[in-house]
Amino acid sequence: MTEYATVAPDQPLSRSGAIHLYGHDAFEGMHRAGRLAAEILDAIVPLMVPGTETRTIDDAIRAKMLAAGAVPATLGYRGYTHSSCISINHVVCHGIPSDRILKDGDIVNVDVTPLLDGWHGDTSRMYLVGDVGLKARRLVDVTYECLMLGIEQAKPGNTMGDVAHVIQRHAEKHRYGVVRDFCGHGVGRLFHDAPEVVHVGRPGTGPELRPGMIFTIEPMINIGRPDVKLLEDGWTAVTRDRSLSAQFEHSIGITEDGCEIFTLSPAGLHQPPYA
């Protein structure tokens, strides 16, 4: 049984298991947080070249958030000590910024969540470093298409299963594996809230989408099998078969007749190449 709970402006929230339904104030707040997140992903494009250490990217992201009056929601989150996740090649998600240097041919996901005036803008994009092979570029393109196909289904009257189904169908048409072990999530006042936004499923199943819901869609798609494993650091998730993995993420809000994407790139840098 799915429960829905209407959130009043400035109401303190905790995870209750219910799906939170937000009002106009929340959509305004999410627009501001989401735009900042997207601007940051736009601004790091010049750093996404061979020779950059991933911690330099993380430092730039933190500086931009602080300069805008936001804080990185990941900083101190469950013991995580960085301002972004940077996941390269076979890393599925939660790659830790380090002295790893970007090299020619890498495909890289950068995931950021500024917390601005109490609102979490959660988004990630793929970047191509130097010359990337055709197979990898195709994975990145199809993963972007998966996200946008899912977003097309995000409207009142549909269910989470409708969103999941189109993502799974598109990925599997290309013989890719859809990661099951990580999901999208409710977002807003809380970083990770109900519901779980799965990326595989059957039409008409799962929670019904209602106006006021705010959540992420963030499919992780592998060239090979869907299976992941966690590295010793407790964060880095990699494909078990070491195949390449890609991900894009938007934070969206359900409206009366569809949805709003809070994290669209103001510069139009939606999918690579960004040059």
Residue ranges for the known binding site are 94, 111, 122, 185, 192, 218, 249
Question: What is the size of the binding site for ligand MF3 (CB under 6 A)?
Answer: 12
Contact with ligand MF3 (CB under 6 A) among 54, 109, 113, 158: 113
Structural tokens at position 14:
């905790």
Quick one: tokens of 228?
């992941």
Which lies closer to ligand MF3 via its Cβ, residue 94 or residue 170?
94
- Residue 138's φ and ψ, nearest 5 degrees, are -65, -40
Question: What single string gives the DSSP state of each residue in 183-215?
Answer: -EEE-SSSSSEEEEE-SS--TT-SPBP-TT-EE
User: DSSP character for 159?
Assistant: B
User: Based on CB atoms, which residue is closest to Co ion, 112 or 142?
Assistant: 112
Please say which residue, 170 or 250, places its beta carbon nearer to ligand MF3.
Answer: 250
Which residues between 205 and 224 bind ligand MF3 (CB under 6 A)? 218
Q: Minimum distance between the CB of residue 175 and ligand MF3, rounded to whole angstroms?
A: 25
Is residue 85 within the footprint of ligand MF3 (CB under 6 A)? yes
Place of tokens 């090649």: 89
C-alpha closest to that of 190 among 65, 38, 14, 8: 14
**Residue 111 binding ligand MF3, by CB under 6 A:** yes
Quick one: tokens of 191? 């970083």
CB of 74 to ligand MF3, least distance (A): 3
Instruction: Tell me how far, at minimum, the Cβ of 73 lies from ligand MF3, in Å.
Output: 8
Binding-site partner at residue 74 among ligand MF3, Co ion, none, CB < 5 to 8 Å by type: ligand MF3
CB closer to Co ion out of 147 and 203: 147
What's at 183, amino acid-wise? C
Nearest alpha-carbon partner for 186 in 158, 156, 218: 218
CB of 114 to ligand MF3, least distance (A): 11
Under rule CB under 6 A, residue 122 binds ligand MF3: yes
Residue 150 one-letter amino acid? G
94 binds ligand MF3 (CB under 6 A): yes
| Residue placing its CB nearer to ligand MF3 in the complex, 50 or 239 | 239
59 secondary structure, DSSP code: H
Structural contact between residues 164 and 211, judged by C-beta atoms closer than 8 angstroms: no
Task: Identify whether the C-beta of residue 50 lies closer than 8 Å to the C-beta of residue 103.
Answer: yes
265 binds ligand MF3 (CB under 6 A): no
Q: Rounded CA gap, 106 and 241, in Å?
A: 17
Residues 225-244 that bind ligand MF3 (CB under 6 A): 235
Interface residue list for ligand MF3 (CB under 6 A) = 74, 77-78, 80, 85, 94, 111, 113, 122, 218, 235, 249
